[in-house]
Amino acid sequence: MEGLNGADMVFVIFSAALVMLMVPGLALFYGGMVKSKNVLSTTLHSYAALVVISVQWIFIGYSLAFGPDKFGFIGGLDWSFLNNVGFQANPTYSSTIPHLLFVIFQMMFAAITAAVISGAFAERMRFPAFILFILLWTTFIYDPIAHWVWSGSGWLKQLGVLDFAGGNVVEINSGVSGLVAAIVLGKRKRTKPDPHHVPMAILGGGILWFGWFGFNAGSALAINGVAVNAFLTTNTSAAAGAIAFVACEWVINKKPTTLGTISGAIAGLVAITQGAGYVTPLSAFFIGLVGGAISFFAIAMMKSKLGYDDALDAFGCHGVAGIWGAIATAIFATTKVNPAGANGLLYGNFNLLKVHLISIGACALYAAVGTFAILKFINLFAKLRTVPEEESSGLDIALHGEAAYNIYNR
Amino acid sequence: MSEVMTKVDIITSPNKLDDLIDALNKIGITGMTVSNVLGCGVQKGHTEYYRGMPVDIKLLSKVKIEIVISEVPVDLLVDTVKSILHSGNIGDGKIFVYDVKNVIRISNGDEGSEALK
B56 neighbourhood in chain A, CB within 8 Å: none
Question: Residues of A numbered 376-395 whose beta carbons fall under 8 angstroms of chain B's beta carbons: which are they?
Answer: 389, 392-393
Under 8 Å between Cβ of A3 and A95: yes
A305 touches chain B (CB under 8 A): no
**Closest residue in chain B to residue A395, using alpha carbons only:** B15
- What is the secondary structure of chain B as a DSSP string? --S--EEEEEEE-GGGHHHHHHHHHHTT----EEEEEEE-SS---EEEEETTEEEEE-SEEEEEEEEEESSS-HHHHHHHHHHHH--SSTTS-EEEEEE-S--B-TTT--BGGGGG-
Helix (H) or strand (E) holding A102: helix A99-117
- Pick from B48, B59, B61: CB nearest A401: B48
Residue range A34-60, pLDDT digits in tens: 999 999 999 999 999 999 999 999 999
What is residue B1's predicted lDDT score, i.e. its pLDDT? 45
Residue range B6-116 forms a domain whose CATH class is alpha beta
Q: Taking CB atoms and an 8 Å cut-off, how many pairs form between chains A and B?
A: 25
Q: Is B102 on the interface with A (CB under 8 A)?
A: no
Residues of B in contact with A410 (CB under 8 A): 38, 57-59
Longest dimension (CA), chain A: 69
For chain B, give every domain's residue range.
6-116
pLDDT at B15: 83
Q: Which residue of B has its CA nearest to A393?
A: B15
A401 and B47 in contact by Cβ < 8 A?
A: yes
Q: If contacts are CB pairs under 8 Å, which of residues 316-355 in chain A contact chain B?
A: none
pLDDT tens readout for residues A388-404: 989 988 999 999 999 89
- DSSP letter for A72, please: T
Angle at B80 between CA B77 and CA B83, to 5 degrees: 150
- How far are the Cα atoms of B5, B28, B114 from residue B104, in angstroms, in the given order? 12, 20, 9
**Hey, are the CB atoms on A393 and B50 less than 8 Å from each other?**
no
Distances (CA, A) of A358 to A142, A149, A157, A362: 18, 12, 12, 6
Contact by Cβ (8 Å): B60, A397: no
Lay out the sheet containing B60-69: strands in order across.
B33-39, B60-69, B6-12, B94-99
Q: State the DSSP string of A326-387.
A: HHHHHHH--TTT-TTS---GGGT--HHHHHHHHHHHHHHHHHHHHHHHHHHHHHTTS--B--
Q: Catalogue all structural domains in chain A, each as residue range(s) with its CATH number.
A: 6-400 (1.10.3430.10)
Query: What is the mean pLDDT of the segment spanning B63-92?
Result: 92
User: Does residue B50 belong to the interface with chain A, where contact is any CB pair within 8 Å?
Assistant: yes
CA gap A261, B35 in Å, rounded: 32
Average pLDDT, chain B: 89
Amino acid at A263: S
Amino acid in position A43: T
The strand pair at B53-57 and B46-50 is best described as antiparallel
- The Cβ-side half-sphere exposure at B26, using a 13 Å CA radius, reads 10
> Does position A1 have pLDDT exceeding 70, yes or no?
no
What pLDDT shows up at residue B39? Answer: 85
CB A357 within 8 A of CB A390: no
Closest CA to B93 of B115, B59, B62, B68: B62
Residues on chain A touching B57 (C-beta within 8 angstroms): 403, 410
Burial of residue A161 (CB within 10 Å: 0-12, 13-18, 19+) is: buried
Find chain B residues with C-beta within 8 A of A397's C-beta. 46, 48
pTM: 0.93
**Beta strands B33-39 and B60-69, pairing class:** antiparallel
* CA–CA distance, A22 with A28 (Å, rounded to integer): 10
What integer pLDDT is reported at residue B50 of this predicted model? 79
Q: Would an 8 Å CB–CB cutoff place A82 in contact with chain B?
A: no
Minimum-distance CB partner of B15 among A393, A401, A402:
A393
Q: Is A194 near chain B, with CB under 8 Å?
A: no
Lowest-confidence pick of A53-62, A180-189, A376-385, B84-93: B84-93
Residue range B48-61, pLDDT digits in tens:
777 888 877 778 88
CB nearest B49 (choices: A37, A392, A402): A402
pLDDT of the residue at B58: 77
DSSP per position, A118-174: TTTTTTSB-HHHHHHHHHHHIIIIIHHHHHHHHSTT-HHHHHT---SS-IIIIIIHH
Q: In the beta sheet, which residues pair with residue B39?
A: B60
Q: Among A314, A331, A14, A284, which Cα is nearest to A170's?
A: A314
Specify the DSSP class assigned to residue A302: I
Q: Is B35 on the interface with A (CB under 8 A)?
A: no
ipTM entry = 0.78
CB contact under 8 A, A392 and B47: no
CA distances from B46 to A139, A181, B59 (A): 38, 32, 9
Mean pLDDT computed over every residue of chain A: 96
Instruction: Indicate the pLDDT class of residue B44, thresholds 50, 70 and 90.
Output: low
Nearest to A401 among B16, B18, B49 (CB): B49
Q: In angstroms, rounded to a whole number, what is the distance separating the alpha carbons of residues B96 and A405?
A: 29
What is the distance between the alpha carbons of residues A232 and A220, in angstroms, rounded to a whole number? 13
Q: What is the pLDDT of residues A86-145, one digit of tens each?
A: 999 999 999 999 999 999 999 999 999 999 999 999 999 999 999 999 999 999 999 999
Q: Terminal CA-to-CA distance of chain B, rounded, Å?
A: 13
CB atoms within 10 A of CB A1: 7
Residues B37 and A281: their CA atoms lie apart, in Å, by 54
Residue A408, pLDDT above cutoff 70: no
Return d(Cα B93, Cα B39) in angstroms, integer: 10
